Chain A
Amino acid sequence: MSKPVFVYVTYIAAPPERVFEALTKPDISEKFWFGYRVTADGKAGARMTAFDPAGRQVHDDPIIESDPPRRLVYGWKSLYKDLPDERPSRVTFVLEPLKDQTRLTVTHDDFDDGSRMFEMISKGWPAVLSSLKSFLETGRGLEATWDEEQRRRAGQA
């Protein structure tokens, strides 16, 4: 049995520079990432931080690689207290230019078998990345509806 790996590919009608910026700047992320403020614009060794819409810090993870606007890798461990205490997993963003647009591949791996976080991110990324695409193409993100539990945790329900 191989370890769980989540892969999602989406094509976005925006250049890699704009996609990278949206993934790393909190003032932009909060407009599509369901109110979460995500900061990941540092170099390798700096931190990726995220705050939920209620202002609670939910991530403080290492940036493992950063090569704007082509590649970003960071660790992933939720700080929410009510989640099982799992070791950090890893998120890799690869941005490939295609004319003036982007093929974005998100790979979330390095989970243990039976990871509860894996179940959560498998639901979460399609919603976040759909909203990112809508935001960059139309100026409007989507509504947070990915799952009720997540919304309660984020203090939105």
Chain B
Amino acid sequence: MIDMGKFKPGTVYVTYIASTPEKVWQALTDPAFTRAYFFGFAVEVEPRVGGAYRLKTPDGKVHVEGEVVDWQPPRRFASTWRVDGLPGYGDLPECLVSYDIEVSGDAVKLTMTESHSWAIPEAILEGGRTGWPKILSSLKSVLETGKPVAMKMEGPPPGMAEAVRRALIEKPWTKAR
């Protein structure tokens, strides 16, 4: 089991969705939904703490591999993430992605928090800060209208690959924070 206390939020994204907690939960954990809004990726999750979490590309390759650390349907879902689908990224320390689902009036407040156990450079955080608004905007549209939104497919933000290369050489996570 990972030491959750070491993880600090790096990126938080909040969106309000005209839906129910159960449907938002399903959208996060059912591959038929994630394929529609998450760059075509299919989620595979063993429904228990300690279970395996995977995101697979449309051609079946494992893009993200992790472990379920919180499973409280339909309120909170968290797993570790190791991004194996991008060169080098799989050797970085795993991060933690959590989803909190709360009723808010006639809607649902969904809070995504991406947390890290090391002093991750801004240039690497930028990858998630580019991706999450696309993923979560599209999730909202799929639940409210049945259709994903248009999104520009762009490579990693400038400086990100270089920051990953440097981190893999310097390994700042091996030093005390």
Contact = CB atoms under 8 A, between A and B. Distances in A.
Contact of B150 (A8, A98, A142): A98
A13 B15 contact: no
Interface in A86-118: 98-101, 103
Interface residues on B, range: 20 to 34
Contacts, number: 68
Nearest to A141: B18
A11 B18 contact: no
Interface string B1-38: 00000000000011111100000000000000000000
Given A143-B105, A144-B105, A13 B18 contact: no
Interface centre among A100, A127, A138, A142 (most CB of B within 10 A): A142
A11 B134 contact: yes
Given A11-B137, A134-B18, A142 B149 contact: no
B136 to A, nearest CB: 9
Contacts of A99: 150
B145 A13 contact: yes
Contact of A103 (B106, B145, B152): B152
User: SS class of chain A's interface: helix, strand, loop or mixed?
Assistant: mixed
Interface in B82-112: 104-107
A69 interface: no
Interface of B: 13-18, 104-107, 129, 133-134, 137-138, 140-141, 144-145, 147, 149-152
24 contacts: A7-B129, A8-B133, A9-B137, A11-B134, A11-B149, A12-B149, A13-B141, A13-B145, A98-B151, A99-B150, A101-B150, A126-B14, A126-B15, A130-B107, A134-B16, A134-B18, A134-B144, A142-B18, A142-B105, A142-B106, A143-B105, A143-B107, A144-B105, A145-B107
